Amino acid sequence: MDMNRRTLLKVLSLTAAGSALPGCEREVHNLVPYLLPDEQIVPGVATWYATTCQECEAGCGILARVMEGRVKKLEGNPAHPISQGKLCARGQAGLQGVYNPDRVKGPLRREGERGKGRWQEISWEEGLSTWLEQLHAHHGSNCLISPPVNGSLATLFQKVTDHLGGRMMIQENREIHTLRTANVLSVGKDTLPYYDIGEADFILSFGTPFLEHWISPVAYGRAYGQFRQGRPMVRGRFIQVEPRLSLTAANADRWLPITPGTEGLLAIGIGAVLIEQKLTRMSGPLPQSHKDLFSMFSLETIAIETDLSAQTIRELAEEVASADAPLILGGGPAASHTNSTINAILFFALNFLLGRVDQPGGVQWTSSTQFPIKTKKHDRASDRVLSELTEDFSQNRYQLLQLYRVNPLFTLPPSTQIQQLFSQAKFIVSFNSFIDDSTSMADLILPVHDPLESWSDVISSEHSAQPTLSFSQPVIRPLYDTRDIGDVWLYAARQLGEPQTLEFPWTSFTEMIKQTWSPYLQAQEPNTSPQDIWPHTLQRGGYWPDRYVVSGTTLPPEVIPYESPQFLGNSDEYPFYFYPFPSLALHDGRGANRPWLQELPDPLTTRMWGSWVEINPLTAKQLHIQHGDIARVSSSYGSVDAPVVYVPGLRPDLLAMPIGQGHRTYGRYAKDRGCNPLTLIGPAFDSLSGSVATGGTRVNITRLSSGSELALLEQSGQTPFLSHLHQTGGL
């Protein structure tokens, strides 16, 4: 057989790529999709495509390095306002989404009993026909649950759902949902502000994990570098208040281990000192409602409840007031209780007292109203609303359940009875790329493209100091028999009614995005020719105006009387507070099927590839529990077994576990690995936002056995961190 040099190089690169994946002898012929025609591919020469990361809702701009039609590397886009050339570990692991061997490779129909994992491969024609039949049969009783989406896809989802008399529900991150609710109640803004960390000179954070997974971790991580060492002769000071020493707290100048759930009470104490000593900086007089709020409790009472001395509270207030550009943040454990929204309102009220609203280094709102697509305020479903959806399905108000890139069976505690939603739905359609816990209960799976294979537009005014329009474009051809989610729903729109009725004249989602945005982009850059404006914007990764509207906040925030946190479980039987925290790598569990993220060590414990329970060493010794023992953590609602890890940066009355593991199914890298600590959480909700109070359930711990092998970064005896634990004995 004759073989020229070009063919030989292609074969060699194909073989090397195939050898790195499981089942390579069967899958090699599917590994290299060709984005460019064969004659345009130059072996060894990379092509870079600007697109948008969709591993979380932040919408960072990225550059994809493509060689021989295969995406090899993802990096931050230096020109993009959010990422500015940076990219987190989860963004880097996006490659393992598109090349994951457990992707659904074509439409599937359930066979046998629901949830038993028996599937039949079908054609797209049969799959779409089945879906459309169900939409017709359940007109007025269909429900779509989606993650936060905006732009063209949100418009498409909403108009089709409205046309069918159905309901579109957005399952938002519960902490973000709580913060958004606080903004609506306090200042009437249904959007998140931008916290200008980079220009602040002092940060007082009530548990906010802004160096881990909060809102936009890349943007805030980069801003933190600016805060610490990005300005001549200025190094910002940072104090973190939270019960557990998180990665963010480990970077602080001072960590204060407060009693769980009392963060808002501490904010009241600080505000009282500011008012008492006339250290406030408001432009006008202090409203009487604020005076009443900040005088609700004596400093001595606050000191007892928070486990911080009155002197410490006074010092905090004075230190905040002495800074030129102080900034108050709140989140993480402070947003995991039944009073989370009230806490968030109090944190914003402190920024108001300090005159830090709409100021450099303070809390800022920007507006994206200049964009032709307005971000509609969709039905953001709280955890409580999702749990109540079960009643709607049991009463046949809804019968058809549709899922797009959500996994409520994993992200909601079983105590919310969310599993009944899947047993009561007459028919379930999933548009997910993997058979996760929720998709495994579907009757029909219509798999969509990976984000690196598809189109989208993302409007953001919450993740950077300026509104941003980002575009995702395919950087490779689809590997499998999947379709773009926009094309699937456009097809449904054409079949369900006249295109003019739904105002969707386009034949493809690509055409919809291009024709929606091209006139606007041309108006913004009139010196660019019409034929060049679209490729020019794609090459840059989107459009972000130099000038934008700053949405001012002139009125003082509304305040709500303080409520103490409520805990489920008797303190005698369940003596420990409990905090299940989102994993740095796996977040809420969506990253558990990426081996790169499973292999990423936890920064403080170096633990990987599993679950663990964190306990203070002094508490563990009192209970005769050794590092590495298998222990059972139990509540009134369930129990989980996990190895014990000593963590001195933990209150003695607190246990903590990472969220992300414990999937019943989600591919070979996630299935039956570790445990889901949400199993322990009872049906306690934040009184205002409806978010599950993940920190509102008390627990107990019991030693089961010894001799566990912990997967750690270092295994030569003990890690330096663990050696320090045993030498110091903890706190």
- The pTM of this model reads 0.87
Instruction: Tell me the CATH number of domain 5-98, given options 2.20.25.90, 3.40.50.920, 1.20.140.10, 3.50.50.60.
Output: 2.20.25.90
Reduce the DSSP state of residue 520 to 3 states and report it.
Answer: helix
Query: How many angstroms separate the CA atoms of 527 and 574, rounded?
Result: 68
The pLDDT value given to residue 80: 94
Looking only at the bridges linking them, the beta strands covering 542-543 and 468-472 are antiparallel
DSSP track, 354-395: TT-BTSTTSEE-EE-TTSSS-----EEE-HHHHHHHHHHHHT
The pLDDT value given to residue 376: 54
Domain limits, the chain: 5-98, 194-364, 577-681+699-728
The pLDDT value given to residue 288: 85
Task: Confirm if 537 and 77 have CB atoms less than 8 A apart.
Answer: no
The pLDDT value given to residue 528: 87
**pLDDT tens-place string over residues 338-375:** 999 999 999 999 999 999 988 889 998 876 556 766 55
The pLDDT value given to residue 548: 66
The pLDDT value given to residue 77: 95
* Lookup: tokens for 159: 């108009």
Same fold, 194-364 and 577-681+699-728: no
The pLDDT value given to residue 39: 53
Helix H, strand E, coil C: the string for 390-401 is HHHHHCCCCCEE
Which regions of the chain are under pLDDT 50?
1-36, 715-731
The CATH number assigned to the domain with range 577-681+699-728 reads 2.40.40.20
Question: Which helix H or strand E contains 577, and what residues bound it?
Answer: strand 577-582
Is CATH 3.30.450.20 correct for 194-364? Answer: no
Task: Confirm if 647 and 656 have CB atoms less than 8 A apart.
Answer: yes
Give the Cα-Cα-Cα angle 249, 255, 258 (nearest 5 degrees): 105
- Amino acid found at 472: S
